[in-house]
C-alpha cells in the first residue's frame, strides 16, 4: 500500500489502527516531551516517532517508518538512547516494533516536503492556496497585547512588529488560522475580531494601525474579557477549532490573573505567554508550565528568532495539554472496603493500588480530582473532591487513611458516595468515575445503588479481591460489564491491574466525547 498515515510527535502506538502501518514522522519533535516505554519492543503507550528515534531508525529530522503491532509483555526496560530516556513499565496489553519503511513513495513525499525546491529559484504560483491559508494550522487565535504604561510607546511598537511577523508566518486564510487582537491596558479593547480579516496582508495593515492606549496593565481583566466576548460565534469563532489566547506581558500585571486564567480555561481557551519576568506568575496563569504554554523572551529586540518556534507551538494543537484529555478531565472516587477480612497489611496494598491509579492523572483545581470513602457497615469520607488540588497532597492523604475494620455494606456505601461525594460534582465539566474495591460478599443489595449511581452519570469499575463474588462485582460494574470488572485472588495482584484500570477510564472518557 502506498497510503501512509501522517502522524504527529505525540501519536502513540495505540492510536494506530492497523497491524502494520507506514507512518511519516515530522521533523523537529521536542525530544524531552516524548513518552517511550521499553527498548526495541515498545509498549503501545509509547509515542511512535519517539520510539523510532530511540531505536535509531530515524533521527529528529523525521522520516518514514513502519510500525508493527506485537503482543503485550511484562517488564519493558528503561534505556537511554539517541537523546531519549525510555521508561520502565511493568506490563502493558500490546506492543510495537519500529523498522525503516519499505514505502518508497512515502520516502519521496517526506523528502520533497523538506528539501525539494523548484530549481529555477522561482516557486510555482499557488493562487488558490494563498486564500485558504495554512490548512494544517486550524486555530482561532487572540493576541492579547500589552498597551499599558509598563511597556511604553517604543516597546509597544516592537511588540506590534513581533505580532505582525507571527501573524504572517502562521499562514492566515479562510481554511487556516484566524487571528484577532485585544489590547490590555486600563480597560481591555478588542481591536479587531477573528471574523474581520482572512488574509495576512489585511491583518498586517490592521496591526500597523493600532494605537498605544496607556494606563495600568490589567491583563487579568483583559483575559476574562477575551474569553467571554472575543470567542463568540457571532464574532467569528469557529466550532470545534482550538481557541488560543497568546498573552504578551511586559513586567508584572496589576490585577488577579489566576482567576482570569481559570475563566479562560473553562471557556475552552488555552493560553500562551511571552515576555514575562516572573516564572511563578507564569505558573499561575497557564495550565501547567511544561515549557509548552509559557514562553520567555529576554527582550523585545531581536525577537525574530522567536517567531518560528512560537508559530510551531500555536499550530501543534495535540500538545495543548490544557485541552481536555482523560488525564486532566476526570473525577475519580475510590470506595474502599475496610471490613475486618481485609486485614492491616492487605489494606496497605489497597492504598498503594489507589495511589498508583491516582498518580497517572493531572490533579489540580481545574484538572482531575480524587476523592476516597472507606466503608464497613458505616461510611467515612476520607477526603472529598475539593479537599486537595495537588497530586502531592492527594497521595499523602491516601497514605494517611486509617483502617476501620468491621462489616461489609457495599450497597449503602455506594449510595452514600453518590449522594455525598459526587453530589457536588454533578454539573461540573469532568467525567465521573467510581472505583469500588472489595474483598467479600456484601450484606446488602448492591444492584439498586449501583444503578442509581450510573443514572447519576457515574461510571463504575468494580475491583474484587479474594472472596468477592463475581456476581456482585458484575452487578455493580458499568456496561460493558466485562471491561469494567476486575478480579484477583491475592491482594498482591492489584498492582498488575493499575494500567488496565487507567486505560479503562481513558477509553470511557474518549467514548463519551465521540
Cell of 287: 495550565
CATH number of domain containing 239:
3.40.50.410
Both 24 and 152 in a single domain?
no
Task: Please tell me the predicted confidence (pLDDT) of residue 427.
Answer: 78
Higher pLDDT, 137 or 403: 403
Among residues 100, 130, 153, the one where a domain terminates is: 100
Whether 321 shows a pLDDT value over 60: the answer reads no
Predicted TM-score (pTM) of this structure: 0.46
Q: What's the chain's average pLDDT?
A: 81
Both 349 and 464 in a single domain?
yes
Task: Please tell me the predicted confidence (pLDDT) of residue 298.
Answer: 59
Cell of 133: 491559508
Phi–psi pair at 238, nearest 5 degrees:
-100, 140
Task: Please tell me the predicted confidence (pLDDT) of residue 292.
Answer: 38
Both 309 and 351 in a single domain?
no
Task: Please tell me the predicted confidence (pLDDT) of residue 225.
Answer: 72
Q: Which residues contact 112 (CB under 8 A, 6 or more apart)?
A: none
Q: Average pLDDT for residues 438-459, to the nearest whole number?
A: 96
Both 376 and 309 in a single domain?
no
Both 228 and 347 in a single domain?
no
Task: Please tell me the predicted confidence (pLDDT) of residue 128.
Answer: 42
Per DSSP bridges, beta strands 140-146 and 178-184 are: parallel
Q: Residue 292: inside a domain, yes or no? A: yes
Among residues 72, 100, 128, the one where a domain terminates is: 100
Q: Average pLDDT for residues 393-405, to the nearest whole number?
A: 96
The top-scoring range by mean pLDDT among 50-54, 218-222, 299-303 is: 50-54
Task: Please tell me the predicted confidence (pLDDT) of residue 12.
Answer: 85
Q: Average pLDDT for residues 157-169, to the nearest whole number?
A: 88
Both 79 and 158 in a single domain?
no
**Helices and strands (DSSP H and E) totals, the chain:** 16, 19
Both 300 and 362 in a single domain?
no
Whether 188 shows a pLDDT value over 50: the answer reads yes
Task: Please tell me the predicted confidence (pLDDT) of residue 367.
Answer: 81
User: What is the domain extent for residue 237?
Assistant: 140-319
Both 224 and 360 in a single domain?
no
What is the number of structural domains in the chain? Answer: 3
Which residue, 320, 324, 255, is CA-closest to 284?
255
Whether 163 shows a pLDDT value over 60: the answer reads yes
Percentage of the chain modeled with pLDDT above 70: 80
Task: Please tell me the predicted confidence (pLDDT) of residue 138.
Answer: 80
Q: Average pLDDT for residues 48-67, to the nearest whole number?
A: 91
Percentage of the chain modeled with pLDDT above 90: 38
Whether 25 shows a pLDDT value over 60: the answer reads yes
Q: Residue 49: inside a domain, yes or no? A: yes
Q: Average pLDDT for residues 475-480, to the nearest whole number?
A: 96
Q: Residue 107: inside a domain, yes or no? A: no
Q: Residue 444: inside a domain, yes or no? A: yes
Question: Three-state secondary structure along 72-127?
Answer: EEEEECCCEECCEECECEEEEEEEEEEEECCCHHHHHHHHHHHCCCCCCCCCCCCH
Whether 487 shows a pLDDT value over 50: the answer reads yes
Q: Residue 251: inside a domain, yes or no? A: yes
CATH number of domain containing 67:
2.170.130.20
Among residues 71, 100, 129, the one where a domain terminates is: 100
Q: Give the pLDDT band (50/70/90) at residue 155.
A: confident
Q: Residue 386: inside a domain, yes or no? A: yes
Both 314 and 165 in a single domain?
yes
Give just the sign of the alpha carbon dihedral 461, 466, 467, 470.
positive
Both 361 and 304 in a single domain?
no
Both 14 and 47 in a single domain?
yes
Both 452 and 492 in a single domain?
yes
Amino acid at each position: 500500500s502506498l497510503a501512509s498515515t501522517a502522524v504527529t510527535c505525540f501519536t502513540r502506538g495505540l492510536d494506530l489502527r492497523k497491524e502494520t502501518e507506514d507512518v511519516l514522522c515530522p521533523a523537529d519533535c521536542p525530544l524531552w516531551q516524548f513518552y517511550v516505554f521499553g527498548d526495541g519492543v515498545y509498549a503501545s503507550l509509547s509515542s511512535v516517532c519517539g520510539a523510532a528515534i530511540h531505536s535509531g531508525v530515524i533521527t529528529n529530522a523525521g522520516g518514514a517508518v513502519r510500525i508493527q503491532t506485537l503482543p503485550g509483555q511484562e517488564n519493558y526496560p528503561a534505556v537511554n538512547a539517541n537523546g531519549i530516556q525510555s521508561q520502565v513499565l511493568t506490563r502493558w496489553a500490546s506492543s510495537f516494533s519500529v523498522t525503516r519503511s519499505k514505502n518508497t513513495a512515502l520516502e519521496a513525499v517526506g523528502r520533497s516536503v523538506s528539501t525539494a525546491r523548484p530549481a529555477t529559484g522561482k516557486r510555482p504560483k499557488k493562487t488558490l492556496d494563498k486564500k485558504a491559508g495554512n490548512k494544517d494550522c486550524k486555530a482561532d487565535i487572540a493576541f492579547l497585547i500589552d498597551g499599558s504604561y509598563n511597556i511604553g510607546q517604543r516597546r509597544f511598537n516592537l511588540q506590534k512588529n513581533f505580532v505582525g511577523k507571527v501573524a504572517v508566518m502562521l499562514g492566515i486564510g479562510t481554511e487556516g488560522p484566524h487571528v484577532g487582537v485585544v489590547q490590555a491596558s486600563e480597560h481591555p479593547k478588542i481591536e479587531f475580531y477573528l471574523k474581520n480579516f482572512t488574509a495576512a496582508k489585511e491583518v498586517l495593515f490592521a496591526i500597523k494601525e493600532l494605537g498605544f492606549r496607556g494606563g495600568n496593565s490589567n491583563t487579568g481583566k483583559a483575559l476574562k474579557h477575551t474569553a467571554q466576548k472575543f470567542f463568540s460565534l457571532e464574532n467569528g469563532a469557529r466550532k470545534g477549532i482550538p481557541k488560543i489566547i497568546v498573552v504578551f506581558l511586559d513586567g508584572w500585571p496589576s490585577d488577579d490573573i489566576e482567576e482570569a486564567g481559570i475563566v479562560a480555561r473553562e471557556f475552552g481557551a488555552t493560553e500562551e505567554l511571552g515576555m514575562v519576568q516572573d516564572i511563578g506568575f507564569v505558573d499561575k496563569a497557564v495550565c501547567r508550565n511544561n515549557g509548552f504554554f509559557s514562553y520567555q523572551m529576554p527582550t523585545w529586540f531581536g525577537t525574530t528568532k522567536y517567531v518560528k518556534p512560537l508559530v510551531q507551538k500555536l499550530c501543534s494543537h495535540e500538545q495543548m495539554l490544557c485541552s481536555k484529555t482523560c488525564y486532566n478531565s476526570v473525577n475519580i472516587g475510590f470506595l474502599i472496603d475496610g471490613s475486618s477480612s481485609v486485614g492491616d497489611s492487605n489494606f496497605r496494598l489497597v492504598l498503594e493500588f489507589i495511589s498508583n491509579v491516582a498518580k497517572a492523572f493531572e490533579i489540580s483545581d481545574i484538572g482531575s480530582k480524587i476523592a476516597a470513602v472507606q466503608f464497613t457497615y458505616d461510611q467515612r469520607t476520607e477526603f472529598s473532591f475539593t479537599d486537595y488540588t495537588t497530586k502531592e497532597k492527594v497521595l499523602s492523604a491516601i497514605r494517611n487513611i486509617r483502617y476501620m475494620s468491621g462489616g461489609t455494606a457495599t450497597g449503602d456505601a455506594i449510595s452514600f458516595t453518590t449522594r455525598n461525594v459526587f453530589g457536588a460534582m454533578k454539573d461540573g465539566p469532568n467525567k465521573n468515575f467510581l472505583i469500588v474495591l472489595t474483598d467479600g460478599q456484601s450484606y446488602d443489595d448492591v444492584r439498586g445503588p449501583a444503578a442509581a449511581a450510573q443514572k447519576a452519570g457515574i461510571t463504575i469499575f468494580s475491583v474484587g479481591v479474594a472472596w468477592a463474588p463475581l456476581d456482585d462485582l458484575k452487578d455493580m460494574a458499568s456496561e460493558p460489564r466485562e471491561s469494567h470488572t476486575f478480579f484477583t485472588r491475592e491482594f498482591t495482584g492489584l498492582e498488575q491491574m493499575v494500567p488496565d484500570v487507567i486505560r479503562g477510564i481513558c477509553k470511557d472518557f474518549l467514548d463519551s466525547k465521540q
